[in-house]
Structure 1
């Protein structure tokens, strides 16, 4: 098996990877980790999207992604091992500078463990009313930063080199290029709070022509992860049918930088992401 390599999904439009119906105030919530409540894109969802690409013929798809158990010639494993993607940086409203990307020590240390970031991804742990950000951040109001309706006191600077390391993950994106000046590190608890409370809630309704009221079952709301969210995961490969595992990784890398549509509401513009997978990058 090859060494796992990181991939990234950067949302250009809101993203809905649904968890099914809910009995809570959100009818159609997104999928999250059970213990942190951080939004995720399951590996199975990404695998299905990649398999559907026109760049691969049927034989290549069977090699890379395998065959389902219900197919005529039986199921078979594919060469690619695709892990779930989870949020590394999440956009929230800022009273100054329009918006911030927030992250937390847990998310950064996970990224370090997965080989996405280096030693710069080991910040101090702010308390729930504190934040780490540059002294001259474009988001700062004196020694405060206001995110959504919450005020945080600046406790320290970002770890040296963290902004540049994050920027290098998506070097071609002109919006992400500002990450060093928009990044705020919050506590793990506040990160969990914001990724639950600051997602978009879109209302949907269909009106019956005969009555002028909502059709039965057509009034519902849907939770979406906002645009400009950065997800990351890892991909590895295994040797299948005598073909080297490295060949599978290289074939997938042909999609590096391509747009992907992931999740629901495709025909209304949701789920457009940039897919970054460059296994040769250091």
Structure 2
């Protein structure tokens, strides 16, 4: 039984293919989707496998992987760390103005708030009222609106929109988490994206959001070339679906007990803290060192590069 949960976000830096196998439709290799809503998702098993690979590659973290993620031989004992599926929060859509905007819907943001309530220490005051944001809501100073007109055109579809102050507050809160103030020699690294997210989130109806996430993913035709002839091999032409870059998912890291005897537990933890706190501290401190990871297929062609974003302290700013 899981005793404690903390949230994290997944920001796709490059198009990402977390596949569900082959199908007979137009797309030969589709992405994973929720059965009931058809929204894109990332299976918890895929997340866990990707994280485990990262932690295994770090000499300072590797020795505790079998206790937290579980041993290679599953018959020995269970791991103490689990995850929810990566759930969609914001999906990027091409816009006539402002290049692109992030879309979401009442169902998605209501579910997000509900699942944040499972996390200890999450301040729900910062999410107060987001479930009441109505479809076709936008921030007042959005760069997506046509001049002198409360209309937004996404892909080839136009939407009559109205400003919503609750959406403005939610956008400001989320943008500070996804694009934190990080300085380098050139200045604020994420400033442009943070300012864009503050004003370019659009809440659509549940049905419109479902249609965009169904029809506006990237579908790429790939081939295999015959090395001797320099031509496409017979039967080697296929279509592959990708979640576009700039998509935002979220998940929860779930901690339970360590499934080893008491003596071994004390040698693992070394300091006086609960088992669930030890597990979550281990995970979040480790992912803080390795926030850029690869998820899904096509590693060698630069796909599936994502940034893991954790609210400061694991959940204090959530």
Tell me, yes or no, whether TM beats 0.5: yes
Within the candidate set 273, 278, 283, 1:247 is matched to: 278
Unaligned runs of 5+ in 2: 117-121, 181-189, 266-274
**C-alpha spacing 1:215/1:150, structure 2 compared with 1 (3 Å):** same
- Range moving further from structure 2, 97-106 or 111-120: 111-120
Inter-CA distance 140–14: structure 2 relative to 1 (3 Å threshold):
same
Of 151, 160, 164, the match for 1:157: 164
Q: How many residues end up aligned between the 2 structures?
A: 275
| Cα distance in 2 between the residues matched to 1:16 and 1:265 | 8
Work out whether 1:279 is the aligned partner of 2:289: no
Q: Distance in 2 between matches of 1:135 and 1:177?
A: 13
Cα drift, residue 158 of structure 1 = 4.7
Q: Structure 1 248/177 Cα, relative in aligned 2: closer, same or farther at 3 Å?
A: farther
Query: Per residue, is there more helix in 1 or in 2?
Result: 2
Superposition deviation, residue 177 in structure 1: 4.2
Matched, 1:135 2:136: no
Cα pair 2:138 2:164 within 8 Å, conserved: yes
8 Å CA contact retained: 1:111, 1:121: no
The aligned counterpart of 1:123 is 132
Separation (CA, whole Å) in 2 of partners of 1:103 and 1:197: 15
Corresponding residue SS for 2:178: coil
Structure 2 equivalent of residue 262 of structure 1: 295
How large is the Cα RMSD of the aligned pairs?
1.9
SS at match of 1:168: helix
Counterparts in 2 of 1:161-180, with a 5 A limit? 161-172=169-180, 173-174=190-191, 175-180=193-198
The question of whether the paired residues in 2 share the 8 Å contact of 1:39 and 1:195 is answered with yes
> How much has 1:6 moved relative to structure 2?
0.8
Query: Residues 117-167 of structure 1, C-alpha deviation per residue, up to 9 Å, x if partnerless?
Result: 6114223432xxxx1112331100111000001000014425251111211
Change in CA separation of 1:171 and 1:136 when aligned onto 2, cut-off 3 Å:
closer
SS in 2 for 1:273: strand
Structure 1 counterpart of 2:65: 61
| Contact 1:120-1:161 within 8 A present in 2 as well | no
8 Å CA contact 2:291–2:307 kept in 1: the answer is yes
In structure 2, the partner of 1:183 is 201
Gaps of 5+ in 1: none
* Pick aligned residue for 1:218 from 223, 233, 236: 236
Per-residue displacement from partner, 1:51-93 (whole Å, max 9, x unpaired)? 112225544111111124xx3x834210101111111000010
Do the aligned partners of residues 85 and 268 (structure 1) sit closer, same or farther apart at CA in structure 2, a change above 3 Å counting? same
Mark the CA change 1:236 to 1:134 in structure 2 (over 3 Å): closer, same or farther: same
Specify the SS of the correspondent of 2:20.
Answer: coil
